[in-house]
Amino acid sequence: MKVLVINCGSSSVKFKVFEMPEEVLVAEGNVEKLGEETGLFSYTKGTQQLFYRRPVDVKTHSEALSLIAKTLVDEKEGIIKDVKEIRGVGHRVVHGGEGFDRSVVLTEEVIKKIEEYQSLAPLHNPHNLSGIRAGVKLFPESLQVASFDTAFHTTIPPVAYLYAIPYEFYEKHRIRRYGFHGTSHRYVARRAAELMDKGKYDVNVITCHLGNGCSITAVRNGLSVDTSMGLTPLEGLVMGTRSGDIDPGVIFHLMDALGLSAKEVNDILNKKSGLLGISGVSNDFRNLLEKMEEDRVALAIDVYSYRIKKYIGAYIAVLGRVDAIIFTGGAGEKTPEVRERALSGLENFGIVLDNEKNYKNFAKEEEISTENSKVKVFVIPTNEELRIAFDTYQMAVQK
């Protein structure tokens, strides 16, 4: 059974097609720079049987999905003869609020619920909905499934998800910690359990998803019990362009002292802060590591790593017993400098990194702790799309 997984961002549409249940990737690609004068389309068929990257005139998510559908059935480039061969389409949806604790089949009622949560994720859910509407139109006979970034975190207890503000704001407006990157945290937590020969509900782990957006999750007995992102993806760790945790008073000070509007401050905290804000150079580790001799660049990396260490320490206290710490995401998988800084000084907690393994590892699934480390440390490349494909496949089989 072929399953298509769609991930619609603000200016891109990423996709992968899997043969299920074998979990074989048969095609993948990315339509980038939507809305710009010239877009870019990257496409790979099979294991490099065909690869290209070319400019395209694509302005909207709907046009991008049409291009993808056309490519998949192309006589030379495609992998199917008819769109009917795509039995399931899995859509990544960032915010599912309290309404969804797992992947669900898309219905009009579900779509309305996702629309309701747009105010909680205005930078993400509208684009996810665009992909859903285009997917339903282009693959009318396929089972359409929504997979929510927030779903894995619905097991977080009130003591962890409530903010210390008037309770009525939670009761009436559902203001609380929701958490994100749930599909990634769930995937690597389950994979770590397999690597340790344990059941998926028999492990306590700390999962660190480090990319341009970053979050860290405490997983007790296979379930999320605390996570660093909050009502929005702005809270928590220092990120590429997001500030992460900040004194709320800073916001009012910026507004009063500099005469900035709420929208301007929001733009600063989401798009001009984090690694970019401190370094003044870039939010991309590839650029930052080349300029480590510059004081602000080195400081940015140290602040970023220090915040990870603080959360790891906090989640050790939350969990009591920790079986493993897992690094995933672009920076987590490919930046040994961050892994070293984040774990240094934690040996008394039973966390001992093998730095030779650490610095040799580049996005490879591997244990990078020493043999005598009581807490295992893993690099596990995330595969959110495969997790979504698996959920979609299961629902298609049950239909």
Domain C-terminal end among 50, 85, 120: 85
Contacts of residue 100, Cβ cutoff 8 Å, sequence gap at least 6: 110, 113, 146, 148, 150, 151, 154
Choosing from 74, 149, 247, 267, which is the catalytic residue?
149
CA angle, residues 174, 130, 178, in degrees to nearest 5: 25
Same domain, yes or no: 380 and 244? yes
Domain C-terminal end among 85, 110, 127: 85
**How far is Cα 255 from Cα 154, in angstroms, rounded to an integer?**
34
**How far is Cα 303 from Cα 115, in angstroms, rounded to an integer?**
37
The pLDDT assigned to 202 comes to 98
Q: What does the pLDDT average to over 41-60? A: 89
Does 182 have pLDDT greater than 80?
Answer: yes
The pLDDT assigned to 9 comes to 86
DSSP state, residue 312 = H
Domain count, the chain: 2
**Strand (E) or helix (H) holding 9:** none
The pLDDT assigned to 313 comes to 98
Q: How far apart are the first and last CA of the chain?
A: 13
Q: What does the pLDDT average to over 109-120? A: 88
Q: Quick check: is 120 in a domain? A: no
* Domain at 27, CATH number: 3.30.420.40
Same domain, yes or no: 375 and 238? yes
Q: Quick check: is 103 in a domain? A: no
**How far is Cα 6 from Cα 66, in angstroms, rounded to an integer?**
12
Same domain, yes or no: 68 and 211? no
Quote the domain boundaries for residue 354.
199-384
Q: What does the pLDDT average to over 116-121? A: 81
| 149 in active site | yes
DSSP string, 173-228: H--S---S-HHHHHHHHHHHHHHTT--TTS--EEEEEESSSEEEEEEETTEEEEES
The pLDDT assigned to 49 comes to 73
**Strand (E) or helix (H) holding 17:** strand 13-19
Higher pLDDT, 148 or 117: 148
CB 95 within 8 A of CB 147: no
3-state SS, 131-157, equals HHHHHHHHCCCCEEEEEECCHHHHHCC
Percent of the chain residues past pLDDT 70, beyond the cut: 100
